Structure 1
Amino acid sequence: MTRVVLIHGIGQHLKGPQTITETWFPALNDGLTVSGASTLPRHDVSVAFYGDLFRRPGHRGVGEPPLDASDVELGLEYELLLSWWQAAADAEAQVPGPEAPARLRTPRIVQRALNALSHSAFFTGLAESVMIGSARQVRRYFTEPEVRRAAGERLSRAVTSETTTIVAHSLGSVVAYETLCAHPQWHDLTLITLGAPLAVRGLVFDRLHPPPQGETARWPVPLKRWINIADHGDVVALVKELAPSFGSRIQDLTVNNGAHAHDVRPYLTARETGLVLAETLA
């Protein structure tokens, strides 16, 4: 019996469903505990895993081939990195903004963005390849139909007649939204989105399936309730409130995730998330 289905975001391509569960499940139950609710047994939770769709095939070298600023593709990858850079600079004093003068050794705008993001809470300690790879996964989802279709199929297989709630993080919120819209025969589901980039105009919102009509996207038929939770410092969730873009029925909440604004674990351990989940399971 799967009452709660979890779907992850970017950067999980070297993991698997059991690895994701090891991280998400205790954090989810911690959120329920701090909210005063009963915890869930392991068999009530499953993971819709699609990270392997982005995993590179084997090669003769050691590790993954490195990516640098010259590998960033113009268009969505480029625009995402610049958007994350601006958001990180707005939220964190230690991150130099795009208006800061470029040093001579980093004249390229992409290199400046990568250098700045390396000082942000979300990307600190990560190699350039990882930052570029994160933007690339978003680009591949929207531009490679087979990846998009396969990700949705993973979620649709995880949802059963016993499922009441889908918890989606980051890019997983896009997969969840599009899959829910594609399955109008499902009913009485609750969607909890964490750090969702769904309402980012020009990068995500305008690329959704089904396409938004004007300023508003379609409400997924299977949903009886949608709660969106965001940290003000989350640079991936550039637009924190989804209600203006997806309808007033959405309940937008804010949490404080500390230094790791986009990390799924503090999202799940937050009392606000625990309360919402407890209500959907009651």
Structure 2
Amino acid sequence: MGPALLFVHGIGGARDPRAECAAWLAALAVGVRKADGQGDSSAAALNGLAEPAFAYYADLFAARQPLGAAGIDPADTEELRNLLDELIEVRLELGPDPRERRILEHARAELRPPHPGRNADEPVRRIVSVCTTLLALPGLRRAGQWAGGRLMAGHLAQVTRYLGRSERDATGLTVDRRIRERVLERLDAARPTVVVAHSLGSVVAMEALHHHPGPVPLFVTLGSPIGMRAVVRPRLLPQPPAVPGCVERWLNFWDRDDIVVPRPRLEDDVLPNGLGCRPVTERIDSDGLWAHTATKYLARGSVAGPVAQALRGAVETGGA
């Protein structure tokens, strides 16, 4: 039995899992071609190396009826404010150009707590306003990933909703557990699996892999928020955060233009596992447009090359 390839998506709205899997596979094929410089690196060839699968969970976030503006529960606003505050502060530490600095400082000022006595929707509206301001950043403005601050705020809130671990369905299961189960359902303990996870999906996959008994020769994280020390890292399970025992190699990639990745060096925040594996972080540079998409990362030779190498290695060893 040959190896498997599992994709885990990040924040965002509803999508077609089959179409998304095909798009990720096509981008990976582009990256492999860049890395190899020879041979057949088409999506079909990658399909021949491993059986691809896509862990989809966006529908679980859509199931809750929104209680405030932008589909954000007012109870979530404090954690979302902390998330935005860390994104802005670390971005300022990177030394942006004067125009970007003005935008970031304006957004930071908007994050100040509202005056006492304001209505319940005020914190939510403030979050939306901050996101609207951040969309004026050149990379976000040109890319068109979000139509407005309302949509951006709602998607970023998925991070705090997952880590809040309090939303329950009719059976009492929390949304984070249901999301992890979607990942675990796609994993096969009988064969090695290369796992590629993006954005919030990197958090989901890392937690899920702690419950996976099968081998993972390579775990790849793209645009991961795991290193966010105010909102994400303290809420990861288990604590302290550590590499799952099944992971043999972990490569973490980040783009300087990716605003969702304020603290990229996971080596500083995740303990090694019993195999001695720890994250290895590498920076990539985009074309200056919106960098926080999985396909943007996967089309890079430095990202796709190790994925193909791990799959080929698993095939050569008979998938064992």
TM-score interval for Structure 1 and Structure 2 normalised by the shorter chain = 0.7 to 0.9
Match in the other structure for 1:177: 206
Match in the other structure for 2:185: 157
Give the unaligned 5+ runs of structure 1: 60-64
* Aligned residue identity for 1:143: G
Change (3 A) 1:100 1:277: closer
Any residues of structure 2 matched to 1:23-38 within 5 Å, and which? 23-36=23-36, 38=41
Q: Report if aligned partners of 1:31, 1:273 keep a CA contact under 8 Å in 2.
A: yes
Q: Matched residue of 2:104: which SS? A: coil
1:76 maps onto 2:79 in alignment? yes
Larger Rg: 2
Match in the other structure for 2:47: 41
Q: Report if aligned partners of 1:165, 1:191 keep a CA contact under 8 Å in 2.
A: yes
1:227 maps onto 2:251 in alignment? yes
Change (3 A) 1:26 1:190: same
Deviation at 1:128, TM superposition (A): 1.7
Deviation at 1:255, TM superposition (A): 0.8
Identity %: 27
1:19 maps onto 2:19 in alignment? yes
Any residues of structure 2 matched to 1:131-146 within 5 Å, and which? 131-145=152-166, 146=174
Match in the other structure for 2:134: 117
Change (3 A) 1:10 1:169: same
Q: Report if aligned partners of 1:267, 1:273 keep a CA contact under 8 Å in 2.
A: yes
Give the unaligned 5+ runs of structure 2: 115-124, 167-173, 273-277, 313-320
Match in the other structure for 1:198: 226
1:256 maps onto 2:303 in alignment? no
Structure 1-normalised TM-score? 0.83
Structure 2-normalised TM-score? 0.74
Deviation at 1:209, TM superposition (A): 0.5
Deviations 1:146-182 (A, max 9, x none): 1100111111011123342000000000001100112
Change (3 A) 1:19 1:2: farther
Change (3 A) 1:48 1:15: same
Aligned residues: 268
CA RMSD of aligned residues (A): 3.0
Deviation at 1:76, TM superposition (A): 1.2
